């Protein structure tokens, strides 16, 4: 039991990771896929941040009255990763909008059917 509590942050991280990845793979709706992708990426933020945090630690101030501080580097890295995640989500949503304009649907199976029908039509020409 104490093991579980000690590894609490990892359990949450892995749960989010697997959930996100499952949603990406199992859902056919383009928006839901992006939601899954975001959850998946967010789990990585936790993976980096949680081990860098020291309980009772402060910001990294090098002065005698502050004994322990949290590792600032993972925070900085994840700041970058968050920006990347936002950019990816924005681009994904923009593509979903364009796909909806072009196909009239954001369901993956319908898009695939439309694509195949397009192939047939062209072959008949």
Partner 1 sequence: MGLTAHLPALQVVLPLLAAPLAVLLRHGGFAFGLVTACAWAAFAAAIGLWLQVGALEGGTISYHIGNWAPPWGIEYRVDRLTSFVLLLVSGTAAIVLPWSRASIEREIPADLHYLYFAMFGLCLAGLLGITITGDAFNIFVFLEISSLSTYVLIALGRDRRALAASYRYLIMGTIGATFFVIGIGFLYLMTGTLNLADMAERLRGVENSPPVLAALAFITVGVSLKLALFPLHQWLPNAYTYAPSAVTAFLAATATKVSVYVLIRFWFSVFGESLIFEKLPLPQILLLLSLAAMFAASFTAIFQDNLKRLFAYSSVGQIGYITLGMSFDSVNGLDAAILHLFNHGITKAAIFLLIGGMVIGLARPGAVLPAPTFDRLAGLSQRMPLTCFGIVIAGLSLIGVPGTAGFISKWHLILAAMEKGQFWIVGAILLSSLLAIAYVWRFVEVVYFKPAPEGATKQEAPLSMLIPAWLLVIGTIWFGLDTSFTVGTATEAAMQLVKIGK
Q: Which positions lie near partner 1, rule CB under 8 A?
A: 17, 21, 24, 30, 33, 37, 40-41, 44, 47-48, 51, 73-74, 77, 80-81, 84, 87-88, 91-92, 95-96, 98-99, 102-103, 111, 115, 118, 122
What's the closest the beta carbon of residue 12 comes to partner 1, in angstroms? Answer: 15
Looking at beta carbons only, is 2 or 80 nearer to partner 1?
Answer: 80
The CA distances from residue 122 to 44, 67, 100, 115, 118, in Å, are: 44, 72, 22, 11, 6
Q: Judged by CB, which is closer to partner 1: 6, or 115?
A: 115
Which is closer to partner 1, CB of 33 or CB of 64? 33
Query: Which residue lies nearer to partner 1 by CB, 66 or 87?
Result: 87
Task: Name the one residue in this structure whose structure tokens are 């319908």.
Answer: 110
**C-alpha distance from residue 43 to each of 5, 10, 27, 60, 98 (Å):** 18, 10, 19, 24, 28
CB of 53 to partner 1, least distance (A): 13
Q: How far is residue 56's CA from residue 120's CA, in Å, rounded to a whole number? A: 66
């Amino acid at each position: 039991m104490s093991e579980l509590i000690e590894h609490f942050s990892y359990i949450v991280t892995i749960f989010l990771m697997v959930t996100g990845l499952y949603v990406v793979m199992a859902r056919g709706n383009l928006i839901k896929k992006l939601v899954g992708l975001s959850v998946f990426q967010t789990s990585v933020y936790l993976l980096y941040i949680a081990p860098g945090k020291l309980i009772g630690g402060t910001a990294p101030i090098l002065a005698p009255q502050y004994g322990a501080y949290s590792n600032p580097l993972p925070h900085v890295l994840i700041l970058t990763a968050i920006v990347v995640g936002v950019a990816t989500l924005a681009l994904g949503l923009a593509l979903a909008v364009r796909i909806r304009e072009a196909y009239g649907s954001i369901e993956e199976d319908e898009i695939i059917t439309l694509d195949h029908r397009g192939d047939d039509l062209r072959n008949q020409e």
